[in-house]
């Protein structure tokens, strides 16, 4: 059994989760501070990928990244790099689809952060960067963690947009989800079933880890 789809899926999910982690927190932090109207509009735009069908995201990505399209042709002529049908094409797809999950949970956490804590930290002469990373982030740990896990899980399960921009090339762009689809289509049910079990196992472990972390945290708080 060729384990390439396993490593490729993990790699794609981990990288897009990393991107989404910082981008989501950044956006959440700044959007939470904006005036109401602007906040409402930006919020809708940033949440859009959550409700759009993955095929729409895939289509828009293709229109942007295809070798005959604006950005894709520029990348091709300047860096001789293909933006589609390579493994990292799937990173764009999963990152976009997973982004709203991180952004929304982080924003929720930031909004429930007690502003008195920030103000008192300021009276102690602490810098904004210090307050953000050492006070606000630890206080919002729960929400951030939940968002990260959701984003990772969503990125791992991305199929629609991925299959459009990265395709299914065994040993190159194959992920667990596209492999399962191809195996099912070509009547290789035994192997498809094994990949399904692998995927369920990964998701199980990830969610289990989160529950354990949360429980440990609760115990620490009680102490």
Partner 1 sequence: MKHMKKTLAVIIAALVLLLALSACGEIQQEEAVSSSGPEEVEEVTLQVFAAASMTETLDAIIAQYEEENPGVTIVPTYDSSGTLKTQIQEGAECDLFISAAQKQMNQLDAAKTEEQGNEEGLDFVLSDTRVDLLENKVVLAVPDDNPADIQSFQDLATDKLTLLCIGNEDVPVGAYSEEILNALEILDALKAANKITYGTNVKEVTTQVKEGTVDAGIIYATDAYSAELTVVDDSGSDYCSPVIYPAAVMKGTANEEAAKAFLDYLQSAAAMKIFREVGFTAP
**Which positions from 2 through 61 interact with partner 1, judged by CB under 8 A?**
none
Closest separation in Å from C-beta 198 to partner 1 = 20
Binding test (CB under 8 A) with partner 1, winner from 16, 173, 177, 199: 173
Closest separation in Å from C-beta 23 to partner 1 = 26
Applying CB under 8 A, does 123 fall inside the site for partner 1? Answer: no
Q: How far apart are CA 8 and CA 159, in angstroms?
A: 13
Distances, alpha carbon 166 to alpha carbons 100, 108, 154, 178, in Å: 21, 33, 17, 10
> Residue 209's Cα: distance from chain center in Å?
18
Closest separation in Å from C-beta 105 to partner 1 = 19
Binding test (CB under 8 A) with partner 1, winner from 182, 194, 203, 206: 182
Q: Which of 165, 167, 200, 202 is nearest to 181 (CA)?
A: 167
Binding test (CB under 8 A) with partner 1, winner from 12, 17, 46, 62: 62
Enumerate residues 6+ apart whose C-beta is below 8 A from 75: 65, 81, 82, 83
Applying CB under 8 A, does 167 fall inside the site for partner 1? Answer: yes
Which is closer to partner 1, CB of 84 or CB of 199? 84
Closest separation in Å from C-beta 21 to partner 1 = 29
Closest separation in Å from C-beta 29 to partner 1 = 23
Q: What angle do CA 109, 44, 20 make, to 5 degrees?
A: 55
Radius of gyration from C-alpha coordinates of the chain: 20
- Locate all alpha helices (DSSP H) within 52-158, ordered by sequence: 54-65, 70-79, 89-111, 115-123, 128-130, 137-139, 141-157
**Which positions from 65 through 104 interact with partner 1, judged by CB under 8 A?**
66-69, 82, 84-85
User: Which parts of this chain interact with partner 1 (CB under 8 A)?
Assistant: 62, 66-69, 82, 84-85, 167-173, 181-182, 185-187
């Amino acid at each position: 059994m060729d384990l390439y789809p396993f490593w490729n899926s993990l790699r794609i999910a981990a990288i897009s989760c990393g991107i989404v982690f910082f981008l989501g927190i950044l956006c959440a932090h700044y959007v939470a501070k904006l005036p109401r109207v602007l906040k409402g509009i930006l919020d809708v735009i940033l949440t859009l990928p959550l409700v759009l069908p993955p095929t729409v995201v895939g289509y828009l990505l293709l229109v942007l990244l295809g070798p005959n399209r604006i950005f894709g042709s520029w990348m091709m002529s300047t860096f001789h790099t293909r933006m589609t049908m390579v493994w990292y094409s799937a990173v764009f797809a999963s990152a976009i689809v997973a982004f709203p999950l991180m952004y929304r949970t982080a924003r929720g956490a930031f909004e429930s952060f007690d502003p008195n804590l920030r103000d008192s930290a300021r009276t102690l002469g602490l810098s904004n960067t210090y307050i953000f990373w050492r006070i606000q982030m630890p206080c919002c740990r729960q929400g951030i963690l939940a968002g990260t896990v959701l984003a990772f899980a969503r990125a791992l399960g991305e199929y629609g947009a991925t299959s459009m921009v990265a395709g299914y090339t065994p040993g190159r762009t194959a992920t667990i989800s596209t492999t399962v689809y191809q195996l099912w289509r070509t009547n290789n049910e035994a192997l498809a079933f094994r990949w399904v079990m692998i995927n369920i196992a990964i998701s199980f472990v990830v969610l289990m880890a989160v529950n354990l972390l949360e429980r440990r945290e609760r115990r620490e708080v009680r102490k």
